[in-house]
Structure 1
Amino acid sequence: MTLNWRDIDTVLLDMDGTLLDLHFDTFFWLQHLPKRYAEQNNMSVEQVAKQLARRMDDFQGTLNWYCTDFWSEEFDLDILALKQEIDHLIGYRPHALSFLEVLGTHNKQRVLVTNAHRDSVDLKFALTGIDAHLDSVISSHDYGQPKEDQRFWRQLQENINFDPKRTLFIDDSEPVLRSAEKFGIAHLLSIEQPDSQNARRQPSNFPMLDSFAHLMTSEGLA
């Protein structure tokens, strides 16, 4: 993987599965939420898991899919409170914090761009302190459009005034990366293993990053 950091002024970073281990979110949506929903509705976890998965698939790629308020109402459960029950699973991906610190010493603009609801963002900030190493934090809920939508990127550019040709964007979502590519962002990286407890992913249409340590040895940042 080759990057010339002299060609990059702004680094846009996803949160879940990029800076933070996706295991927390995977475990929550596939195991913890079905368990709690089953308990509340006197159903089997297996039955609930299939039901919830079908319901969530209906909204994939939309802002509601990422919205804790929407799912709290949909499932009649306090999603944020349930997340707090397992917040010990929230943590950084390897070398993510060091990478942010190095970017700061080289005066690169560090911007978190996430589809996560602000409630989830605040929960993870409180436990990781990641916000102290960022210059801006943008949730797609601020704009009313997910990162999969071109309107998100147009509003983002108006808000933080970045040059797409001199911008690096790192995200674990293929649809989001395709959206960023369509907008014209020049440097794009995917994540090889967003969830530390799951297998490495199959090859992507974008260069895949295993560890942020690899980026810190690139020309202009080492």
Structure 2
Amino acid sequence: MPSLPWRDIDTVLLDMDGTLLDLHYDNHFWMEHLPRRYAELHGVSLGLAEAELGALFRDNAGQLQWYCLDFWSQELKLPVRELKLETAHLIALRPDADTFLAAIRQAGKRVILITNAHRDSLSLKLERIELAPYFERLISSHDYGFAKEAPQFWDALQADIGFDPARSLFIDDTLPILRSAGRFGVAHLLAVREPDSRKGPKDTEEFAAVDGYRELLEGL
């Protein structure tokens, strides 16, 4: 990965799940734990639960409701917030993410969290991982009513925090979101090579990717 032009970067925008936190928690919850609990609580087979949830996931992927615990609680008739607590021991920071956060704050960069996570999910993770002190703001896309995939999110973010896209770095593990940021004009974009520690590296296509956070600090 080429070293970052830190002299040209004032604002660092960071995703949470899969970027600063290991995506294993979320993948395990949505793809394994939730189908199992859905089957138990609704009295259906695991196979049927997986089929029903899979169809709903495909229909809602990339839209704001996909990230909304209220939506899923109503749709599935399950207490999704409470179920998420059952696997909360899996919430984990990615290696050296805290070192990176401390260094960029120390260097005087403006550091802002932008996540599609519902506020309840954000709170759950912040209770277990001390991320908040590193950030000027913690922004959920639910605050604006648009997921990060949508151009309206970036318009709302600009109106809210007044950042210069040409002098900003954005790191996210979701390629459609990075493309949305690029269309808005964010100049420095990085994907994440291995958002889920249990699944191995992924193809980040046109984007350079973070393999380890310490390597980003060169030249800071």
In the alignment, structure 1 residue 154 sits paired with structure 2 residue 128: no
Deviations 1:25-84 (A, max 9, x none): 000000000010000111121221121011111111110011000000000111111111
Q: CA deviation at 1:166?
A: 0.3
Find the aligned partners of 1:130 and 1:114 in 2 and give their Cα distance. Answer: 13
Q: Tell me the SS of whatever aligns to 1:199.
A: coil
Counterpart position of 1:145: 146
Contact persistence 1:170–1:188 (CA under 8 A):
yes
The amino acid across from 2:77 in the alignment is D
Find the aligned partners of 1:204 and 1:111 in 2 and give their Cα distance. Answer: 25
Matches within 5 A, 1:191-206: 191-206=192-207
Find the aligned partners of 2:214 and 2:205 in 1 and give their Cα distance. Answer: 20
Counterpart position of 1:68: 69
Note the residue ranges of structure 1 that are not aligned, 5 or more in a row.
none
Find the aligned partners of 1:204 and 1:126 in 2 and give their Cα distance. Answer: 34
Deviations 1:156-189 (A, max 9, x none): 0111111000000000001000000000000000
Note the residue ranges of structure 2 that are not aligned, 5 or more in a row.
none
More moved, 151-160 vs 38-47: 38-47
Find the aligned partners of 1:169 and 1:202 in 2 and give their Cα distance. Answer: 18
In the alignment, structure 1 residue 165 sits paired with structure 2 residue 169: no
Find the aligned partners of 2:126 and 2:205 in 1 and give their Cα distance. Answer: 29
TM-score (norm 2): 0.98
The amino acid across from 2:21 in the alignment is L
The runs of 4+ residues in structure 1 deviating greater than 6 Å are none
Corresponding residue pairs, total: 219
More moved, 196-205 vs 25-34: 196-205
Kindly, what percent of the aligned residue pairs are identical? Answer: 49
Q: C-alpha root-mean-square deviation of aligned residues, in Å?
A: 0.8
More moved, 163-172 vs 200-209: 200-209
Find the aligned partners of 2:19 and 2:68 in 1 and give their Cα distance. Answer: 19
Q: Tell me the SS of whatever aligns to 1:193.
A: coil
Contact persistence 1:190–1:204 (CA under 8 A):
no
Distance 1:64 1:203, change over 3 A: closer
Counterpart position of 1:14: 15
